[in-house]
A and B are shown apart, each in its own frame.
Chain A
Amino acid sequence: MLVVRDLVVNYGAIRALHGISLRVDQGRIVTLVGSNGAGKSTTLRAISGIVRAASGSIVYDGKPIGRMPPHEIVRLGIVQAPEGRGIFANMTVEENLLLGATVRDDAAGVREDWDRALALFPRLAERLSQNAGTLSGGEQQMLAIGRALIAKPRLLLLDEPSLGLAPQVCQTIFRIIREINERGTTILLVEQNANAALRIADYAYVLEVGDIALEGDAKKLAADDNVRKAYLGVH
């Protein structure tokens, strides 16, 4: 579905990605784990078209998308819930969700996905007219994911959805991510919380300062003690 090859991204003189390759197959949850500053967000930004690759290719369903502007990439069905949630704090919860439907022109379909998103996150339904900036962190993350779902993604990119959330809220979020995947949405999940991510993912890449250090079946990586010690910071 998505094939990234030899992706190099620079921020001015800083090289954030040194030519990474990864692929996401349809229907899977693929996770990209790594410590702070490894280049995880940069990878997602490049896929979404927010930063441009210096070299390498990003191919989605056989089409090169590396030169497309972000809003057209969303139209292809690649939707990102960005790091820090990207909530529009100057708008209500309802308006934030409506922004998710920007690229859609099938009103009936939007209605359906709207109801489905609110069924997943009943808390949002109670707060539709509330200013989105007043939501708690967990609710904001739910809003970010709900909004992305209303855009009807085929490939959902999630950047650290568990960041700054209490363990219990984290659990809920990861359960819902799995649920979304079971309903047919392919997911590329970026996480620092490697344990939780590996538990729900099918396949995993470990990113270390701009390079893929390791990749493999998520369950196997999670089970391998050496891997855990060397790369995942788990003892």
Chain B
Amino acid sequence: MEKFLQTLIDALAVGSLYALIALGYTMVYGILKFINFAHSDVFVLGAWTSFLVAVAAGWGDPQASAGAGREWVAWVLWAATIAAAVIAAFEYAAWKRRHPTDAFSLNRTRLAGSLVLVAAWGWAALGLAKMAGVVKAWGDNGLFSGLLILLCAMATCGLVGFVLERLAYKPLRKAPRLNVLITAIGVSLLLQNLGQLQAMFGTRPQRMPTLLPTDAPLATIANVKIMPVDVIGAATAVALMFLLDFLVHRTKFGRSMRAVSFNPTTASLMGIPVDRVISVTFVIGASLAAAAGFLYGQKYPGLNQTAAAVWVLLGLKAFVAAVVGGIGNIRGAMLGGVLIGLLEFFGAAYVSAAMRDVYVFSLLIVVLLVRPSGILGRPMVEKV
């Protein structure tokens, strides 16, 4: 009983994180029909960003965890955003001078617009990081700065997702799908290796500071301690999933998203700005992955360097979750994540811990053989 409950708690805690990551795979697949292999690296980036921001805000042991060049990251961000804003302003002014009465937006204004957006966004992320520091200095017990750090990681990764899509995937909108797939693998390798730079996160593992006020269990049932980190983690994940589900199924934007996923050309005939919908989809997927990265770091504080095999494996399991649930299907990704979590943890606890990855990938094979479109995936119907 004790073992069962403990396993169940761990399975749900980790499964909900798989689900968060799987959502990003599934949304991008639903809309662009390709697997964004760089998605798991955005998850890793989320974990590391949370770590950097937490340390900068004064959590943990700065001596032990602060490395060389941490300030440099902030400087690059500031400089890049200011430069982006100035360039965008000049571009816009120059274009306006040449077309004083023209109301159409040409690519140039769109470029300027996204640069301004990127700049404002970068500032907002930095603002969140600073606020986390201020709140911590006021004697916060961790809940508020935790929330601010989470939001900062989500904003940073959302921005990275936006920029990646603009620079790497958007130019390939009309290219064969294989080209996009290979590009995604390239982007993934780039992120993994950039992350290892000393100026970024370095190659040494680091310890994520614990933000929660207490290590005392919230409750004890049948000798099993219900830990705050699991409850808060799963609650955050579930809340984010409810938000996303509401967005997709109940709002005008969600309707546009589903329309683009079904048929981008017809969607554009409805007056839907397809490129913008795609951008937002990437941003949402990336920020959900960042949230998963933050929460994962809270449960398992040892952060490995960005190219470590454990990260790749986590990303793969989340991908399997998306496929098992039915790739392109949002509720399927959530279900798949939880299923994978349960299978992995119960298999490890009751059969053999050494085989935990085997169960996951065996399930993938079974699903692909028996029901290739996934549990909730109905081919060509209801997908995002």
Which B residues, 351 to 384, have Cβ-Cβ distances below 8 Å to chain A? Answer: 380-383
Q: Are A72 and B269 in contact (CB under 8 A)?
A: no
CB distance from B347 to the nearest CB of A (A): 35
The answer to whether the Cβ of A100 comes within 8 Å of any Cβ in the partner chain is: yes
Interface presence of B259 (CB below 8 A): yes
A53-83 toward B: CB 8 Å interface, digit per residue (1/0)?
0000000000000011111101100011010
Would you call B268 an interface residue if the criterion is a C-beta within 8 Å of the partner chain's C-beta atoms?
yes
Instruction: Please tell me the number of chain A residues within 8 Å of chain B, measured between CB atoms.
Output: 28
Tell which of B188-196, B216-224, B271-279, B318-326 binds the partner: B271-279
The answer to whether B265 touches A95 (Cβ under 8 A) is: no
User: A68-B104, A72-B104 known; A89 and B381 CB under 8 Å?
Assistant: yes
Instruction: Tell me the smallest distance from the CB of B107 to a CB of chain A, in Å.
Output: 9
Could you tell me if A102 and B265 are in contact, using CB atoms closer than 8 angstroms? no
Give B30 Cβ to nearest chain A Cβ, in Å.
Answer: 10
Interface bits B326-357 vs A (CB < 8 Å: 1, else 0): 00000000000000000000000000000000
Smallest CB separation, B177 vs chain A (Å): 18
Mark interface residues in A136-159 (1 if CB within 8 Å of B CB, else 0).
000000000001000100000000
CB of A132, distance to nearest CB on chain B (Å): 10
In the complex, the chain A residue whose C-beta lies closest to that of B266 is: A86
> At the interface, yes or no: A103 with Cβ under 8 Å from chain B?
yes
Query: Would you give the shortest CB distance from A93 to chain B, in whole angstroms?
Result: 13
Across-interface contacts of B95 in A (CB, < 8 A): none
**98-146 of chain A: CB within 8 A of chain B:** 98-100, 102-103, 133
Nearest CB of A to B346, in Å: 34
What is the CA–CA distance of A147 and B270 in the complex, to the nearest angstrom?
Answer: 9
Q: Please tell me if B317 contacts chain A, counting CB pairs below 8 Å.
A: no
How far apart are the CA atoms of A130 and B263 in the complex, in Å? 20
Contacts A70-B268, A71-B273, A71-B274 given; does A102 touch B252 at CB 8 Å:
yes
Q: How far is the CA of A90 from the CA of B380 in the complex (A)?
A: 8
Q: How far is the CB of A154 from chain B (nearest CB, A)?
A: 14
Bound-state Cα–Cα, A50 to B268, Å: 8
A80 close to B269 (CB less than 8 A): yes
Q: Is residue A88 contacting chain B, with contact meaning CB distance below 8 A?
A: yes
Checking B104, B262, B269, B382 against A82 with a beta-carbon cut-off of 8 angstroms, the contacting residue is B269
Contact yes or no, A88 B104, CB < 8 A: no
Q: Which of B256, B261, B262, B271 contacts A75 (CB 8 A)?
A: B271
What is the distance, in angstroms, from B110's C-beta to the closest C-beta of chain A?
9
Please pick, from A67, A86, A151, the residue contacting B271 in the complex, using a CB distance under 8 A: A151
Q: Is the CB of A88 within 8 A of B269?
A: no
- Chain A residues, CB < 8 A from B256: 99, 102
A192 within 8 A of B: no
Q: Which residues of A contact B273 (CB under 8 A)?
A: 69, 71
- Residue in B270, B274, B275 whose Cβ sees the most chain A Cβ within 10 Å: B270
Docked CA distance A207–B221 (Å): 78
CB-CB nearest in chain A for B381: A90
B104 in complex: contacting residue of A67, A86, A102, A103, CB < 8 Å = A67
Identify the closest chain A residue to B275 (Cβ): A69
Q: Are A71 and B258 in contact (CB under 8 A)?
A: no
Q: Is the CB–CB distance between B268 and A88 below 8 Å?
A: no
Q: Chain B contacts of A71 at CB under 8 A?
A: 268, 271-274
Residues of A within 8 A of B105 (CB): 72
What's the Cα separation between A80 and B266 when bound, in Å?
A: 9
> Are B255 and A95 in contact (CB-based, < 8 A)?
yes
Separation in Å of the A153 CB from the closest CB of chain B?
11
The answer to whether the Cβ of A234 comes within 8 Å of any Cβ in the partner chain is no
Are B262 and A90 in touch, CB under 8 angstroms?
Answer: yes
Residues of B within 8 Å of A86, CB to CB, are 263, 266, 269
Contact yes or no, B268 A103, CB < 8 A: no
Which chain B residues border A162 with CB–CB below 8 Å?
Answer: none
Which B residues are in CB contact (< 8 Å) with A100?
Answer: 270
Query: Does B270 contact A102, Cβ atoms closer than 8 Å?
Result: yes
- A81 to B258 CA separation, bound complex (whole angstroms): 19
Rounded to whole angstroms, the CA-CA distance of A74 and B269 in the bound complex is: 7
For the complex, is A1 an interface residue (Cβ under 8 Å from B)? no
A90 touches B271 (CB 8 A): no
* Min CB–CB distance B366 → chain A (angstroms): 27
Interchain Cβ contacts under 8 Å between A and B, 10 examples: A69-B268, A71-B273, A72-B104, A74-B271, A88-B262, A89-B380, A95-B255, A99-B256, A102-B252, A102-B256
A interface residues, Cβ below 8 angstroms from B = 48-50, 67-72, 74-75, 79-80, 82, 86, 88-91, 95, 98-100, 102-103, 133, 147, 151
What would 6 more interface pairs be, CB under 8 Å, given A71-B268, A82-B269? A69-B268, A74-B270, A80-B269, A90-B382, A102-B272, A151-B271
Q: What 9 A-B pairs are tightest by C-beta distance, nearest first?
A: A74-B271, A103-B271, A70-B268, A86-B266, A102-B271, A90-B382, A71-B273, A99-B270, A71-B271
Q: Which residue numbers of B lie inside 8 Å of A, CB to CB?
A: 104-106, 252, 255-256, 258-259, 261-263, 265-275, 380-383
